[in-house]
Structure 1
Amino acid sequence: MQVTRAQVNAARGQIVTDRRLGRATPQWVLAVADAAPARSAWRDGLHLRAISAAQAAYEEAGAALVRAIRQARRAGDTWSMIAIVLERPEQEIRRRFARDADG
């Protein structure tokens, strides 16, 4: 079963596209997925919502990591100590987080 023009237009009415980039926002894609009749479990928008939720969790985890590193640096922990905890080379950790943590 195909998505009707009325269903797509209804979804578009709820969400605005990003005019600078000329493409649909993630919210618009999810609205269209919800408007589409579910032909099976994979086409009900569930997986797209899971991707969206995982992306939000990933971004929050990244922000939490930056905050924790900033606090560790302010407490006097060295880049070597932080690199050991993250199990990554010190140079990589310093390059990735120095601007946010020391700035």
Structure 2
Amino acid sequence: MKVDVKGHTTVIKNTAEGVAAFCEKVTHEHVQFAQQNLIIDLTHVTATLADVKLFSALSKVHRKGKKSFVLVALGLDYNAVPAQLHVVPSLQEAHDIIEMEEIERDLGF
């Protein structure tokens, strides 16, 4: 697991583990990242829709804290992803979503 903090955003990259083990590890260490917007980078593994859904509970908990939670995964049918998860194909799109959500929060939405 590689962690990269830039400003109000933390990018956590899965470097070696399976997606389920990685999700469990991030969930266990979530307290460290609770005050940051989170980007979970799964581009170095082949993630399935079922793998992405493993992050649903963590996403819900994190967003309750008024922080963004975005997954980056390649090769998925993004229309099949549950609406409560933000899944995009690139890190740039993840940063763009976080920026838009911060603007919405600043405006009171």
What is the TM-score normalised by the length of structure 2?
A: 0.26
Question: Structure with the greater relative contact order (CA < 8 A, sep ≥ 6): 1 or 2?
Answer: 2
More strand by share: 2
Looking at CA atoms only, which structure, 1 or 2, has the larger radius of gyration?
1
More helix by share: 1
